[in-house]
């Protein structure tokens, strides 16, 4: 399906794309550029890439797709440098967390290739090639924001590639993308960093807050460990939308500040109750969503082999696990192990088998 793919930037996303394209799509040749040659050598020695370079050159000729996996402020420059080497039928994509400004810039040169902006909604606080993995995109939304001149046939072709790496493609306009991600991704990152900086500022000389911080605080600030270079770039690329969302957040925080000052118990209760109801509406089984998740939670003992026993139990009964994770924050959660399946029938079968083995199992409908 794909003969040759280029990847610029071999970090977490670029490295994971290379591995997924190699193993799941069967790309014949993958070429890569990275500013750190040691990373390129590692990927080459692992058989993840077939050829590499430290600058844009003819290595990228004849690519069917080139993924630009760099901070967003470098995407346009790399796209421009690719023009002498790529065919007009080549798809240029990126994986940046903002789309509007890139789209506006690339319109100037879009006659030279087909631009389909991309944003995989996945990743971790670890951002180097060493953290990359073939299954990073499994069951993750992968937002696509194609330029206006891209034919439906090209978009469908690209969607099939995204599906093959295990992701779920969702098509939106570049500007709607930026408004969505400012609300659900960018400002939450700013808040997580702000919470960390605030606790650092308020901590005692003996660092009591640092010592005790755990559970909920660690969970909601985990993303503050992300790449600061990348987030600096994102903040300025999507500044207008981020400022709009921050202004809205200031009103929300202002409301709870006012209610506390006035000792308005009813409104403070309403503040938390509205949030609870909205958060609980993120159902595990949503008929109108892009993907259905059939989850259960299981109480297991924290001892070696506990998870392995359950995995073997499912395997021996032909149950395929779509996702599995440990719940670190037990507040308002039943069960320490969350498992999701492909269908409701599989979920019910798993519940029956586990209860026969005297496990406490919970499902949220």
pLDDT in tens, the chain (365 residues): 689 999 999 999 999 999 999 999 989 999 999 999 999 999 999 999 999 999 999 999 999 999 999 988 899 999 999 999 999 999 999 998 889 989 999 999 989 999 999 999 886 556 689 889 998 888 788 999 999 999 999 999 999 999 999 898 999 999 999 999 899 888 998 998 998 998 899 989 998 888 888 667 877 887 788 778 888 888 888 899 999 999 999 999 999 999 999 999 999 999 999 888 888 776 554 444 455 568 888 887 767 788 889 989 999 999 988 878 776 443 344 457 888 888 889 999 999 999 999 888 887 65
pLDDT score at 364: 64
Enter the CATH code of domain 177-280: 1.10.3660.10
Q: What does the pLDDT read at residue 287?
A: 41
- Give Cα separations from 353 to 85, 135, 236, 347, 360 (angstroms): 57, 28, 52, 10, 11
Using CA atoms, how far residue 62 sits from 53, 82, 91, 242, in Å, is: 15, 11, 11, 38
**How far apart (Å, rounded) are the C-alpha atoms in residues 282 and 276?**
10
Cα separation, 163 vs 141, whole angstroms: 10
Name the CA dihedral angle for 39, 41, 43, 48, rounded to a multiple of 10 degrees.
Answer: 150
CA distance 66 to 114: 10
Question: Which tokens go with 310?
Answer: 């359950």
Instruction: State the fold for domain 294-362.
Output: Alpha-Beta Plaits (3.30.70)
**pLDDT at residue number 220:** 80
Q: How far is 220 from 191, CA to CA, in rounded Å?
A: 9
Task: State the Cα–Cα distance between residues 112 and 104, nearest whole angstrom.
Answer: 15
| Fold of the CATH domain 4-173 | Rossmann fold (3.40.50)
Domains of the chain, by residue range, sit at: 4-173, 177-280, 294-362
As given in the structure block, the two tokens for residue 258 are 């006012």
Q: Which two tokens stand for residue 238?
A: 């999507």
- Please tell me the pTM assigned to this model: 0.71
């Amino acid at each position: 399906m794909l003969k040759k793919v280029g990847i610029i930037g071999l970090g977490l996303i670029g490295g994971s794309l290379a591995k997924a394209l190699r193993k799941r799509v069967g790309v014949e040749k993958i070429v890569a550029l990275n500013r750190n040659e040691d990373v390129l050598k590692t990927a080459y020695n692992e058989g993840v890439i077939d050829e590499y370079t430290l600058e844009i050159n003819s290595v990228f000729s004849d690519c069917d797709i080139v993924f630009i996996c760099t901070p967003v402020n470098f995407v346009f420059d790399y796209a421009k440098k690719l023009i002498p080497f790529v065919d007009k039928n080549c798809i240029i994509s990126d994986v940046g967390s903002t789309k509007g400004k890139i789209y506006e810039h690339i319109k100037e040169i879009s006659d030279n290739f087909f631009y389909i902006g991309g944003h995989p909604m996945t990743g971790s606080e670890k951002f180097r090639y060493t953290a990359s993995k073939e299954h990073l995109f499994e069951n993750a939304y992968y937002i696509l924001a194609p330029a206006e001149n891209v034919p439906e046939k090209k978009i469908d072709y690209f969607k099939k590639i995204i599906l093959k790496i295990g992701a779920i493609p969702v098509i939106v306009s570049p500007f709607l993308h930026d408004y969505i991600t400012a609300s659900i991704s960018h400002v939450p990152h700013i808040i997580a960093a702000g919470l960390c900086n605030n606790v650092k500022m308020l901590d005692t000389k003996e660092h009591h807050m640092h010592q005790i911080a755990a559970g909920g605080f660690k969970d909601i600030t985990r993303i503050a460990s992300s790449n600061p270079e990348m987030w600096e770039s994102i903040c300025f690329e999507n500044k207008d939308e981020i400022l709009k969302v921050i202004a809205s957040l200031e009103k929300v925080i202002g409301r709870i500040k006012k209610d506390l000052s006035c000792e308005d118990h009813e409104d403070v209760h309403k503040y938390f109750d509205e949030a609870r109801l909205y958060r609980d509406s993120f159902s595990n089984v949503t008929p109108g969503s892009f993907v259905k998740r059939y989850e259960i939670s299981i109480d297991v003992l924290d001892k070696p082999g506990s998870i392995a026993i359950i995995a073997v139990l499912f395997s021996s009964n032909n149950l395929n696990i779509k996702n599995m994770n440990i719940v670190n924050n037990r507040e308002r959660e039943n069960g320490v192990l969350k498992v999701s399946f492909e269908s409701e029938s599989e979920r019910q079968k798993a519940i029956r088998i586990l209860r026969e083995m005297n496990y406490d199992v919970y499902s949220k409908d």
